[in-house]
Amino acid sequence: MKLDATDIRYIGNDEFRVLTATEMGSKNHEVVPTSLIAQISGLRNGGVNKTLGSLARRNLVARVQNTSYDGYRLTYGGYDYLALRTLSKRDSVLSVGNQIGVGKESDIYIVADGDGKEMVLKIHRLGRTSFRAIKSKRDYLGKRKSASWMYMSRLSAQREWAFMKVLHENGFPVPTPIDQARHVIVMEFIDAYPLRQITSVPHPGKLYSSLMDLIVRFAQAGLIHGDFNEFNILIHRVTSEPIVIDFPQMVSTSHENAEFYFNRDVECIRTFFKRRFNYESNLYPRFQKTIDSKDDGDGEGFRLDVVVAASGFKKQDLQALEEVRWWINNVTLRIV
């Protein structure tokens, strides 16, 4: 999807009001009735229709003809727009450059601030491919069904932001978090190659141990990455040090399936090193030993999972997020 930075600055006041009103209305309506948009925005009906028309031409909202009433819904473009506008008002992001990644659940862009400093913008798009399929099968969103993709994408971004912050503050090698708004986060640009692209390293054993050490450090701080693979490990171009990205799915070591996730992360690295570098080692971390060994060191009080959990995520929301991710990873391909 194209993001046009010039658009951020050139939107009229009325357009912005109507767009915001559409967003607010979609908390309770899958299709927001035009009359409700008029009411929230405080514009007269005629004015609202004209403004909605121009927003629709720019693909920021989409007209939907319902069986019972006509209305509009916010598009991905409209939601992106609102997030970028917030970031630009805060002077975090001034311009949007090239797209450098399209994930299953995200779009990644290079952006810059007023000083021309390059950063990475990650837009979460949970359910881009599969929301309709998921929604028809499951009912976990309850009353909030209507705003599902927006809500889930925002939750995912907030969660990634919370983890990135707490990891960064505690000295883990992750990008510096810069800002977050709606379904978007802004972080430091890492001059690096994904491990996936690296064909040879001078000392595979050294890199292997530093990655296993990271898994151990995470776990001793109460966390499991949950997607610790060659795509989410960046190797710095200058220092060759690994930097870890992509955190929305991180889980606590107290999670009921913690050991499974922990072992899967470990296995990912072992398998990759075997295949790519023909490197195998008998040394690899075990879940229980790692958790137990914690008490010999720092003692209590260094539980980052507890810090993140305390930052206000509701239990049922997290469950919904986890289920959506599960569906995306396991079911989407068969349904589409």
In angstroms, rounded to a whole number, what is the distance separating the alpha carbons of residues 203 and 129? 40
Per rule CB under 6 A, count of chain residues that contact ligand ADP: 18
In angstroms, rounded to a whole number, what is the distance separating the alpha carbons of residues 61 and 55? 6
Beta carbon nearer to Mg ion, 78 or 226: 226
Residue nearest to ligand ADP (CB): 103
Distance in Å, CB of 147 to ligand ADP, minimum: 21
By CB under 6 A, is residue 106 in contact with ligand ADP?
yes
Distance in Å, CB of 46 to ligand ADP, minimum: 43
Long-range contacts of 54-58 (CB under 8 A, 24+ apart): 54/15, 55/15, 55/18, 55/19, 55/22, 58/7
Q: Which of 311, 16, 20, 31 is nearest to 155 (CA)?
A: 311
> Which of 232, 249, 253, 290 is in the footprint of Mg ion by CB under 5 A?
232
> Which of 77, 127, 175, 222 is in the footprint of ligand ADP by CB under 6 A?
175
By CB under 6 A, is residue 176 in contact with ligand ADP?
no
> Which of 22, 153, 232, 253 is in the footprint of ligand ADP by CB under 6 A?
232
Tokens of 197: 């692209």
**CA distances in angstroms from 233 to 196, 267, 301, listed in the order given:** 8, 15, 28
Tell me the backbone φ, ψ of residue 86, rounded to 5 degrees. Answer: -60, -45
183 touches 124 (CB < 8 A) = yes
> Which of 187, 211, 258, 304 is in the footprint of ligand ADP by CB under 6 A?
187
Beta 118-124 vs 61-65: how paired, if at all? Answer: unpaired
Phi-psi region of 282 (alpha: psi -120 to 50; beta: other; left: phi over 0): alpha
Interface mask toward ligand ADP for 112-151; x: CB under 6 A? --------x-x-----------------------------
Instruction: Considering only residues 243 through 262, tell me which ones interact with Mg ion, judged by CB under 5 A.
Output: 246
By a kind-dependent CB cut-off of 5 to 8 A, residue 190 interacts, out of ligand ADP, Mg ion, none, with: ligand ADP
Hunting for tokens 């028809």 — which residue is that? 136
Per the annotation, the verdict on 80 as an active-site residue is no
By a kind-dependent CB cut-off of 5 to 8 A, residue 318 interacts, out of ligand ADP, Mg ion, none, with: none
Distance in Å, CB of 174 to ligand ADP, minimum: 9
Residue nearest to Mg ion (CB): 246
In angstroms, rounded to a whole number, what is the distance separating the alpha carbons of residues 327 and 78? 26
Distance in Å, CB of 169 to ligand ADP, minimum: 17
By CB under 6 A, is residue 194 in contact with ligand ADP?
yes
Write the secondary structure of 57-82 as one string of H (helix), E (strand) and C (coil): HCCCEEEEECCCCEEEEECHHHHHHH
In angstroms, rounded to a whole number, what is the distance separating the alpha carbons of residues 308 and 299? 19
User: Active-site residue among 227, 246, 265, 317?
Assistant: 227
Please measure the distance between the N-terminal and C-terminal CA atoms of the chain and give it in whole angstroms. Answer: 20
> Which of 56, 94, 108, 133 is in the footprint of ligand ADP by CB under 6 A?
108
Distance in Å, CB of 106 to ligand ADP, minimum: 4
Residues that bind Mg ion (CB under 5 A): 231-232, 246
Residues that bind ligand ADP (CB under 6 A): 100-101, 103, 105-106, 108, 120, 122, 175, 187-190, 194, 231-232, 245-246
Active site residue ranges: 227
